[in-house]
Structure 1
Amino acid sequence: MRGIDFAIHQGEIVTFLGANGAGKSSTMNALAGLVPVAGGTVHFADEDITDLVSERLAPMGLTLAPEGRRVFGGLTVEENLRMGAYTVRDAERQAAAWDMVYDLFPILHERRRQFAGTMSGGQQQMLAIGRALMSGPRLLMLDEPSLGLAPKIVGQIFDLIALLRERKVTLGIVEQNVAMALEVADRGYVMAGGRIVAEGPAQELRQTDRLRAAYLGED
């Protein structure tokens, strides 16, 4: 990543687009404190979080649902969700998080005693997002939420993102499905070669040549 500059404002859905290797996931991992920041600064809720690690960031409200789901296969659905809420000490907040997640994902309540490793890919993705929501994030980052899912399930995931918008959840989304990402996003950034090469409202990005060029590897 070199010289990138971007912002995600409260209540927005912002998508990061680009071909494989463009730097999208690296950006998310740096924001979440999973990889060190080599230069520059990262600010979140008016605080400099540049050098903070993920275990410090989660209680502050910055949460990542990683690429590949990464649920704990040997734990039940309910136990996975509890892991997402481990930083929440307030009983009322925890209760509200359980209610929201089970309301958004009825299948998770239905299968709360099932081992996560035995669930379908789509159900595991719902669990990964639900687990991230259990902390009550101020900013939820989703890294490739539709990756490897059947088209029908992809539609369900983006329906869920639309529901999160209604609940005023602030979202940063890395996504290969350009059309659906721009359908739900307010704004977007197009990345190529570790740089941001285009940005703007989602509607405008649909029409820019920079989006096509980024995916085709053109200058």
Structure 2
Amino acid sequence: MAPLLSVQSLQVRYGPIEAVLGIDFEIKEGEIVAFLGANGAGKSSTLNALVGLVPVASGTVTFNGSDITDWPPETLAPAGMTLSPEGRHVFGTLSVSENLLMGAYSIKDKDAVNDAWERVYTLFPILHERRDQFAGTLSGGQQQMLAVGRALMSNPRLLLLDEPSLGLAPKIVGQIFDLISLLREQGVTLALVEQNVSMALNIADRGYVLSSGKIVAAGSASELSQSDALQSAYLGGE
């Protein structure tokens, strides 16, 4: 069975700076795959390239059997892949429900939008309670829930999560990781960039360790948890 996502020789550059140096990886349907490494290792650049937020300098991205390497960002959510970005990037002067509606921009069927709202509000009851509140007045944890909920509104097959626990209290971090496991049970495939290594490996099936734009280790979560390459990727920084 072909992987849901297959990436070959992916390169990402910012002007003269090479952020990702020709990496290969794949994600199978139903998996949680973690991308680990120190700050600046190329993890977020990889996710952003997958959804077209930064251009792919070279390489091929294949999703659900289609070459999506050069697809515009707005075409990827309808195709089944969405990103919950680092830093949340909620629209502070819009209400919670209006923020969620932004995630359903590609859905024309009102009943389908209502179903998506119901799903998100079931996952995040606090968002239902605060649905008319400005997103900018939510706590950090609630804004993270809103960012994930917005990404879920298009009913993605593959959800990319960039640093979902960043800056959150430990109790909220636990809730976010419980949610990630629940989403997988509901049939969502997930890719996760996360600084909290122990939490990430606790829920992931497999992982890739990046250092200076290259994949330096790959394997099951249990293999990576004992990997010298993982420790050196963090202790050695870049």
* Partner Cα distance (2:147, 2:22) in 1: 31
Amino acid of the structure 2 residue aligned with 1:108: L
Which position in structure 2 is the counterpart of 1:206? Answer: 225
1:83 matched to 2:99: no
Is 1:107 the counterpart of 2:126? The answer is: yes
- Match for residue 49 of structure 1 among 68, 71, 75: 68
Q: Distance in 2 between matches of 1:178 and 1:106?
A: 28
1:65: how far off?
0.4
Percent of residue pairs bearing the same amino acid type: 71
Counterpart Cα distance in 2 of 1:205 and 1:192: 14
Give the counterpart letter for 1:109 in structure 2. H
Q: AA paired with 2:201?
A: L
Residue equivalent to 2:85: 66
Whole-Å separation in 2 of the counterparts to 1:168 and 1:198: 27
User: C-alpha displacement at 1:98, in angstroms?
Assistant: 1.4
Which of 154, 170, 183 aligns to 2:173? It is 154
Give the Cα separation in 2 of the matches to 1:162 and 1:37: 30
AA paired with 2:92?
G
- Could you tell me which amino acid in structure 2 is paired with residue 103 of structure 1? T
1:8 counterpart (18, 27, 46):
27
1:41-97 Cα deviation digits (max 9, x unpaired): 100010001111211111111100000000000000000000111111233432321
For 1:201, give the aligned amino acid.
S
Distance in 1 (CA, whole Å) between partners of 2:84 and 2:113 is: 19
Q: 1:131 offset after TM fit, Å?
A: 0.3
Q: How far apart are 1:210 and its partner, in Å?
A: 0.7
1:33 maps to 2:33: no
The equivalent residue for 1:97 is 116
Distance in 1 (CA, whole Å) between partners of 2:155 and 2:108 is 11
Q: 1:7 aligns to what SS in structure 2?
A: strand
Structure with the bigger RCO (C-alpha within 8 Å, sep 6+) is: 1
Which residue pairs with 2:43 in the alignment?
A: 24
Distance across 2 between alignment mates of 1:202 and 1:99? 33
Following the alignment from structure 2 to structure 1, what is the Cα–Cα distance between the partners of residues 74 and 139? 29
Aligned 8 A contact 2:39 2:237 in 1: no
Equivalence for 1:179: 198
Which residue identity lines up with residue 213 of structure 2 in the other structure?
Answer: G
TM-score by length of 2: 0.90
Report the 3-state secondary structure (helix = DSSP H, G, I; strand = E; otherwise coil) of the residue aligned with 2:154.
coil
| Distance in 1 (alpha carbons) for counterparts of 2:79 and 2:169 | 34
* Corresponding residue of 2:5: none
Q: TM-score, normalised by structure 1?
A: 0.97
User: What SS does the corresponding residue of 2:218 show, helix, strand or coil?
Assistant: strand
* 3-state SS of paired residue (2:69): coil
SS at structure 2 position matched to 1:102: helix
Amino acid at match of 2:235: L
Inter-partner Cα distance in structure 2 for 1:70 and 1:104 = 20
CA–CA distance in structure 2, aligned partners of residues 4 and 105 of structure 1: 35
Partner residue in 2 for 1:164? 183
* CA distance in 2: counterparts of 1:169 and 1:203, whole angstroms: 22
Query: 2:15: which partner in 1?
Result: none
Name stretches of at least 5 consecutive residues in structure 2 with no aligned partner.
1-19
**Cα shift at 1:218:** 7.4
| Counterpart position of 1:136 | 155
